[in-house]
Chain A
């Protein structure tokens, strides 16, 4: 496109946005939406976020019933005594609503939800979880439960497996974020840094730990399972400005020790060489060949061209507080990913165009795997506010975007990805984490204001809301079909609706030979627990 065309397209978009805002103010759906909000949305939302404190903890059945009983909460009260049976104490009760239909002509609402209680029973911690489909009818100011279908599951163990031993093992650090400035110069604390990387930096066959806080890199050496901070004398230099984002270990010069790449936001990326003892020396960009990027969100090492040294892929995003993703369901106005080819001595040459991975999606994470078992490393890029990309390696470090053919076509906000064989068939499967919004069911309520210019809303409203529905669907598990494609099985495998998941990883925590999953959830917990 010429620069005139670009300017003209930008002007059109700005104009369209202005009209959209005006349309929101005067659109005919607003009055009915306000009514829906007060009648349905607010009561259900307060149900989600209500805290269930002392009465339940004390197994005060009447108190619990009183808490559950008013209006829509009535559905949860009918079996409260049975509910409390496995518990001596309760620590937490949660209700998560997956879906709620708008009222039909008889005023009946159908809700799919999960009720979950965590507490302690006579022999140890207990989780009680039930998925329910509840049909409720509104009669006057009250709700009447028509039917409940469910099948509860109780999990109990006599002994807690995991214990936080960070303090006693010497891993003491607070994760902070400097916060990139938004349009108005305010730091965006909620975006949140907080990476962690592990590798044996000193050759003792024990994994050492690098904690990546927004404002500091902290290195800890593993001494017989406890940690000694080695930040001061290890040679790592946290830049005075910008946000430390991510760091990855890899032996870029094949000299027998792991070197380190550090990805930065609003500062330049860094490459460090290890002298073999765990002491790192920064490599000047004129030697390392790293280009100034300022928008690095993730990276991975791999010998993509199969010449015996580690090449580097750097994934870039953009600053959400300053730039609006455009279009918001398939954004492509971030910065291009970069591909660096290694000359065997740790000197990198950018070869993004030849590699073909320079897409401008809002990249947040990447994962590599030989998913098609053809002997080379392929690349998956998890993009925020848009479409993920699966790049198939053509064998020489050049890639082809095969997402559509592989069945990975999904509008979402992906935040991380991991490959692992979950069903033991020898083929790598893929797990991608995304946002499961508590409030997604609002999209189905009548009069929900469509966030597009109203004539588009009238013509294509259903499709707009369908895309938004997809975007808040949560995590996705893709099973490798052994023919170059993947099948999404998130719902059947019960891996989709977990929360606002950032990192998720495969691990076999119970050594039973099957890959389990751990996921870190939550976007922002303010003083007020209600969603903003």
Chain B
């Protein structure tokens, strides 16, 4: 390659989901301060300061590591727009593997369903947080939260309050359940 380049000086992109059955995306990297122009490699998403906004760690070729701290949208969309709500969930497996890797969490609000799966790997040569993060927009309450544990049990919580991290333990008896006959809610506890 000598001193030439190959697809060099490219900016990282932050594609905002604009919604739809087949959603369309727009690159907000520059206006959001996230368009690093480095030869990027690994990435991880993590809420380093537990403020409910997801931060991004970027590793690039022969460069210092970058920690893009997300300061949220306060003030950027007008003073009357309050900060959007969020919920974070950490699972403790008992019958299933202890990290509950493979669990599926479904969060329902008035107008939407969101799903996360607990996995260890995401992107290129990078590991993912076991913490599941849900942005909730204007909703200050989650109608139902379902945890589908890897070994088949289902936990259902109703009217969950938000803007906090919730730790949910798997029911210790291996129960076979269905959404029509949910397991009584496991004892969740919030850390803040």
Q: Which A residues fall within an 8 A CB radius of B?
A: 92, 118, 124-127, 129, 153, 155-166, 169, 171-177, 189-190, 192-200, 205-207, 209-213, 222, 224-225, 227, 245-251, 254-256, 258, 263, 297-303, 306, 308-310, 364-370, 373, 375, 377, 415-428, 433, 435-438, 479, 489, 492-495, 498-500, 502-532
Contacts and interface: CB of A to CB of B under 8 A. Distances in A.
B97 interface: yes
B59 A194 contact: yes
Nearest to B34: A162
The interface centre, meaning the residue of A420, A421, A505 with most chain B CB atoms within 10 A of its CB, is: A505
Nearest to A164: B66
Contacts of B167: 205
B68 interface: yes
Given A198-B127, A521-B10, A523-B8, 11 more contacts: A160-B71, A161-B70, A194-B60, A196-B65, A205-B165, A302-B119, A365-B123, A495-B15, A498-B13, A508-B133, A512-B135
A92 B27 CA distance: 15
Contacts of B90: 205
Given A190-B1, A212-B42, A522-B9, A248 B191 contact: no
B122 A505 contact: yes
A519 B58 CA distance: 10
Interface of B: 1-17, 19-28, 30-50, 52-54, 56-73, 75-76, 83-86, 90, 95-99, 101-102, 104, 106, 109, 112-117, 119-131, 133-137, 139, 148, 150-152, 165, 167, 191
Contacts of A529: 5, 8-9
Nearest to A227: B48
B42 A377 contact: no
Given A163-B71, A528-B5, A176 B62 contact: yes
A409 to B, nearest CB: 20
A500 B8 CA distance: 9
A175 B28 CA distance: 26
Contacts of A422: 17, 23
25 contacts: A153-B26, A156-B31, A161-B71, A163-B71, A164-B68, A189-B62, A195-B59, A199-B127, A207-B129, A212-B42, A249-B127, A258-B99, A300-B119, A303-B101, A368-B102, A420-B116, A424-B114, A498-B13, A502-B41, A507-B56, A507-B133, A513-B112, A516-B16, A526-B2, A530-B4
Given A364-B124, A422-B23, A524-B1, A175 B41 contact: yes
A509 B120 contact: no
A125 B11 CA distance: 15
Contacts of A125: 30-31, 33
B161 to A, nearest CB: 16
B51 to A, nearest CB: 8
Contact of A197 (B30, B126, B135): B126
Contacts of B165: 205
A157 B76 contact: yes
B125 A300 contact: no
A505 B45 contact: yes
A494 B26 contact: yes
A516 B25 contact: yes
Contact of B7 (A189, A423, A528, A531): A531
A169 B69 contact: yes
B62 A160 contact: no
Contacts of A437: 7
Contacts of B50: 206, 225
The interface centre, meaning the residue of B49, B52, B134, B152 with most chain A CB atoms within 10 A of its CB, is: B49
A436 B47 CA distance: 30
Given A125-B31, A162-B34, A175-B65, A479 B10 contact: no
